[in-house]
Structure 1
Amino acid sequence: MSRIAVINPNLSAGFTKKVGDQAQRIVAAQTGIIALNPQFGPDSIEGYYDEAFASVGLLSVIRDLEAAPEQLTDPVGGYVVACFDDTGVDAARCLTTAPVMGLCEAALRMAAAVASRFAIVTPMPVSVRPLEHLVSKYGAASQCVVRAAGVRTLDFEGANAAVAYDALKKQAELCLRNDYAEAIVLGCAGMTDIADRLHAELGVPVIDGVSAAVKMIEAMAMLGLRTSKAGAYAKPPGKSYHGIFADFAPQP
């Protein structure tokens, strides 16, 4: 089995370690995990502005892995974009034939299999509308609502983690009661380590996007599925890019 590259598009080393540890915990023994993040970009991704800059860092990581596969003991059989905004996922699919999966898409696919109605709980209100757009894109608008816990993404690390968890749990309880949700989807990669605890306390399915995406990519890699190059995800046509993006120009 080849390796899965789990890429955190922001520069939080704590988040990168957290998602890598979770991925390694749930994959089969023969599946390897590489967890890494870009060398440039935002500390966290909260809304459209952060996402635009983080996507370039994400693409730089995939470009480097695709350009030098010989540096890896095993080839990369699939990529997980470890951000619930699915930052740069469509562009990433243009760079590789390996399958690429974002957390939101994976979590929604799994949530729909275990509940007829569910709620995404994300840290900040600024992320609600972007996630609603993704929910609509993935065809889940009739089943899913998006709510914010009112805390910062980075609050799920360090001294504020307990307060962040309490805010998340309170909002999840409101979703179950007021939105008639039957399951909770964790709307941030940094929440990956609290899914089991929240499930035990709420008594309903809690879907962690990191786990969902990793297992879906592992399955696709085992089945030999590749990203189609017949249309939208075809290799970008060669052209010149300029300024700070010159190195990202697609080659003929």
Structure 2
Amino acid sequence: MVKIMYLSPVAHRAGHDDLFADMARDYKLPGTEVHVTSLPEGVGRFEHIEYRSFEGMVTAGIIRATRAAAREGFDALVIGCFYDTALAEAREVSGEMIVTAPCAASCEIAASLSNRFGVIVGRRKWVDQMQATVHALGHRDRLAGFYHVELGVTEFQADHDRTASRLLAAGRRAVEEDYAEALILGCTMEVGFYAEVERQLGVPVIDPSIAALKRAEYGALLKRDCGWKPSRKWSCEAPPEDEIARIGTFDDGPAFGGRIVVAAEDGRSST
């Protein structure tokens, strides 16, 4: 059995975690167990981390959760934010556990399906940071552009018709004006919207939460079947455990605010 943790780097709240648990049931392999978790309120009552200052505040919680997941024996962890918040920091303390995040996973998949992709995002505010991430991942020449719909994270689920209409209009600009051959939905709250946009525009549309889950699952299977584990050489070197113990804050307090377990074989479909 493969064990994956899908960590939402916000405070636990009903409905939010259920959304990703339903996604996991729909898309995980039958032999995969997925734990959908979130951060405790001690980190802060965050509903989103659209701002860099919010990211800074939750980074310690992500590091603490990563270490806790590694101790529990998870094969892979997803940090569920398209900013890929604290991805490098989490990988550094993850031991042999695979760690991925939505932007990295989505770009990798889009690049395997097309030569040129566009990213639909919620607000213009997000573009600068997300563009820097896409460029750092090596996809500068594949990027058709960013297309914002002026909806914040908490607004995507408020009015599904409005959300779908704006996503479709942005996707049409990307495909018909800038010749994007694939699209990425650049927010992990857009679960379920990709299929209709894909149907109408005729190009692959990648939901980032699904992409991150499947990339984590794939990485875990590669580790199990081929023995490919994360490097701990040079820039990937982990901090010494004695220093972590001396500092004394890495593992203090609860790591998770909520947890939904989607058991192996619990799913409505398999791939």
Taking structure 1 as the reference length, what is the TM-score of the superposition?
A: 0.88
CA drift of 1:43 comes to 1.1
2:202 maps to which residue? 203
Distance 1:63 1:231 in 2: 20
- Choose from 228, 231, 243 the match for 1:228: 231
Does structure 1 retain, via aligned residues, the 8 Å contact 2:2–2:217? no
State the 1:84 CA deviation. Answer: 0.6
**Cα 1:129–1:115 shift into 2, 3 Å:** same
1:80-95 equivalent positions in 2, closer than 5 A:
80-95=78-93
1:11 equivalenced with 2:14 (yes/no): no
Aligned 1:43-192 pairs, distance under 5 A: 43-67=47-71, 69=72, 75-96=73-94, 97-144=96-143, 145-158=145-158, 160-192=159-191
Identify the range of structure 1 (92-101 vs 17-26) with the bigger mean alpha-carbon deviation.
Answer: 17-26
Query: Identity of paired residues, percent?
Result: 24
SS at match of 1:53: helix
- Deviation of the 1:209 alpha carbon: 1.5
Contact persistence 2:100–2:212 (CA under 8 A): yes
Aligned pairs, number:
239
Taking a change above 3 Å as real, the CA distance of residues 12 and 153 of structure 1, as seen in their structure-2 partners, is farther
Cα pair 1:3 1:33 within 8 Å, conserved: yes
Cα contact 2:171–2:197 (8 A) shared by 1:
no
Superimposed CA distance per residue, residues 32-65 of structure 1 (whole angstroms, 9 cap, x where no aligned partner): 0000110133210213222222222222222223
Structure 1 residue ranges (4+ consecutive) displaced by more than 6 angstroms after TM superposition: none
SS in 2 for 1:8: strand
RMSD: 1.9
The aligned residue for residue 20 of structure 1 is 21
2:249 corresponds in structure 1 to: 247
Residue 266 of structure 2 is matched in structure 1 by none
Task: Indicate conservation of the 8 Å contact 2:69/2:77, yes or no.
Answer: no
Q: Distance in 2 between matches of 1:146 and 1:54?
A: 26
CA distance in structure 2 between the aligned counterparts of 1:57 and 1:209, rounded to whole angstroms: 22
CA distance in 1, matches of 2:116, 2:198: 16
Mapped contact 1:124–1:149 kept (Cα < 8 A): yes
TM-score, with length taken from structure 2: 0.82
Q: Which moved more, 1:54-63 or 1:184-193?
A: 54-63
- 3-state SS, counterpart of residue 129 of structure 1: helix
8 Å CA contact 1:62–1:95 kept in 2: the answer is yes
Q: Answer yes or no: is the 8 Å Cα contact 1:24–1:32 preserved in 2.
A: no
Q: Give the equivalent residue in structure 1 for 2:259.
A: none
- Could you say which residue in structure 2 is the equivalent of 1:72? none
Report the alpha carbon displacement of residue 12 of structure 1 after superposing the two structures with TM: 5.8
How far off its partner does 1:113 sit? 1.2
CA contact (8 A) 2:185 2:206 kept: yes
Q: In the aligned structure 2, how far is the partner of 1:112 from the partner of 1:129? A: 21
Question: Residues 87 and 58 (structure 1 numbering): CA distance in 2 closer, same or farther, change over 3 Å?
Answer: same
**Deviations 1:196-231, CA, capped at 9 Å, x for gaps:** 122112221101121222112212211213211112
Q: 1:157 to 1:126 in 2, by over 3 A?
A: same
